[in-house]
Amino acid sequence: MTARDLHRTCIAETGTIREALQVIDAAATTVALITSPDRVLQGLLTDGDIRRALLAGAALDDPALPFATKTPSTVSAGSPRALVLDLLRARHLTVVPEVDEGGRLVGLHTLFDVVGSEPLPNVAVIMAGGKGTRLGELTRDRPKPLMTVAGRTILEWIILNLVGDGIREIYVSVNYLAEQIEEHLGD
């Protein structure tokens, strides 16, 4: 999301429910981001939060912040696409704000932006045939590309990043314990 588009999703911490609805409508997102004057994220207000507030008797001119999530799930500035996607999937979210070390809003990732990358004409080749001897016993009966890191195999992390960047045609070169990799990936 560009800086201009990001600005369209924000309201001031003194903003009203009406302003939040206007932002959600104009930006075509499902959220309004509530920020302080120095762009520190104060809260995230979804269209569902607004619906629940109105059903509970809130008026359109009431302040929006009391109905917002004050500590929404966020990612650090520069987070890789795979991490953003994992967070979106794990928490059943459609958007996640990106903040810097001071909590200032620097971006907004939407599920569509993360999953909907433009396909590139590039072809990727992943070299996954080594024995992984430096890992000793860990790779005696299992190839290094199938070692699990943060809930996924190394090979899955590589493929997820490539696909997230628009690469759709991927070849995996195998040798050591090739049948395990082939079984894990399929065709």
- pLDDT tens for 102-123 read 999 999 988 867 666 677 899 9
For the chain, domain boundaries: 3-115, 120-185
Question: Quick one: tokens of 112?
Answer: 């569509």
Question: Quick one: tokens of 175?
Answer: 């040798």
Check residue 42 and report its DSSP letter: E
Cβ(20)–Cβ(32) under 8 Å? yes
Residue 6 is predicted with a pLDDT of 84
Residue 38 is predicted with a pLDDT of 94
Residue 146 is predicted with a pLDDT of 95
Question: Quick one: tokens of 67?
Answer: 């109905």
Q: Which CATH architecture has domain 3-115?
A: Roll (3.10)
Residue 94 is predicted with a pLDDT of 87
Question: Quick one: tokens of 25?
Answer: 């409508």
Residue 2 is predicted with a pLDDT of 53
What is the spatial distance between Cα 107 and Cα 5, in angstroms, rounded to a whole number? 9
Cβ(50)–Cβ(66) under 8 Å? no
What pTM did the predictor assign?
A: 0.60
Tens of pLDDT along the chain (187 residues) come to 555 578 889 999 999 999 999 999 988 788 999 999 999 999 999 999 999 999 999 999 999 999 999 999 999 999 988 888 889 988 999 899 999 999 999 999 888 676 666 778 999 999 999 999 999 999 999 999 999 998 899 999 999 889 888 888 999 999 999 999 999 988 7
Residue 175 is predicted with a pLDDT of 94
Strands 31-35 and 10-12: parallel
Burial of 35 (0-12, 13-18, 19+ CB in 10 A): buried
